[in-house]
Amino acid sequence: MADLYSVLGVERDADQDHIKRAYRKLARKLHPDVNSDPETQDHFKEITAAYEVLSDPGKRRNYDMGGDGGFGNFGNAGFGFGDIMDAFFGAGAGNRGPRPRMRAGQDALIRIEVDLDEACFGTEREISVESAVRCTKCDGTGCADGSKPRICDICRGRGETQQVTRSFIGQVMTSRPCVNCQGYGSVIPDPCPECAGDGRVRARQTIPVKIPAGVETGNRIQLSGRGEVGPGGGPAGDLYVEIVQTPHEFLLRDGDTLHIALGITMAAAALGTTLSVETLDGPIPVMIKAGTQSGATIPVKGKGVTHLRGGGRGDLIVHLEVHTPTKLNKEQEELLAKFAQLRGEKDGEAQMQRHDGGFFSKFRDAFGR
């Protein structure tokens, strides 16, 4: 048995689109309606049988694992396991009918990046997507101008062929999809030159997308009917837009809560002050109370991310870290020593503190501070 990939002239890792294009290219040259040479017709049946296996994920997986893709023999009897099931349960004895050329299209997925500001307040985007669209030249029929599908000469429109074989259980009638029309029951003698009979072509579209306020990484927006158009001009699937939020320079997001780290001087922490803090709404003043300790947090209501479902916004949490000076001149050292003396502080004294490896330590690590 010839290698099916070699029959179609594709690599073993070829994707479905590449396999389909390779088959169409060969079919246009070898189709019985185009070339009546008996050897050519045999070759056409061979590529059609190869395509039936490689275009079906299950059959292709079976073939790649050393199976026959569903076309092998069961022992030496000349029929497969599916034929035996047909013989016992009668599935092959009746006409299941041709399969429709028009089928629903597949869903598609695209990822887009948004910054924190867009994720918080929402935005509108235009995305460029390359996908299968209805062929405008034939309006999805797959037929060239003035032509139409013709009843298959082999299966007479049934979409399948039947064969009687002898086996150890007697005569068995089996049914298989017609290799001439691929189970459609009809052939397209004059395919559309634009889509090669598929009823769709690849094209790039620009699609507007409304991104709601409050989205975060992993959220998906469903655009109904904007996915791949189905074969034969069938209805399109859906397009899913997956959100990827890019990191902000200063703000760290945790759900609908935002966090920001501020480094303040020892004097500001001791005496108190008012600082300007950057938010998604612009700078706002934040009051630092006298005696603030390193690791303290200040919540700012309503300055976080918009709730995706429901109104309102989360909070902004300001994390404070007191910076101790590392370089002092002589005058500063004397003043600081005088300050310690006035407070009654002694060298070598230390107060034991309970360790609290809370959020702020992780927060500083995330910001590389």
Q: What would the two tokens of residue 164 be?
A: 């009687």
> What is the number of other CB atoms lying within 10 angstroms of the CB of residue 8?
23
- Helices and strands (DSSP H and E) totals, the chain: 9, 15
| pLDDT, tens digit, 9 for 90 and up, residues 26-39 | 887 877 666 667 77
pLDDT of 212: 94
Q: How confident is the model at residue 91 (pLDDT cuts 50, 70, 90)?
A: very low
Measured from the Cβ of residue 210, the count of other Cβ atoms closer than 10 Å reads: 11
Task: Flag whether pLDDT at 237 surpasses 50.
Answer: yes
**Cβ pair 211, 125 in contact under 8 A:** yes
Task: For the chain, give the number of residues.
Answer: 369
- So what's the pLDDT on residue 86? 41
Q: Could you report the per-residue pLDDT of 164-210, keeping only the tens digit for each? A: 776 555 667 778 899 999 899 999 999 999 999 999 999 999 999 99
Give tens-digit pLDDT for 97-122. Answer: 788 888 899 999 999 999 999 999 99
**Does position 89 have pLDDT exceeding 70, yes or no?**
no
Reported as a single tens digit per residue, the pLDDT across 135-169 is 999 999 999 998 999 999 999 899 998 877 765 55
Q: What angle do CA 52, 43, 135 make, to 5 degrees?
A: 55
Paired residues of 231 in beta bridges = none
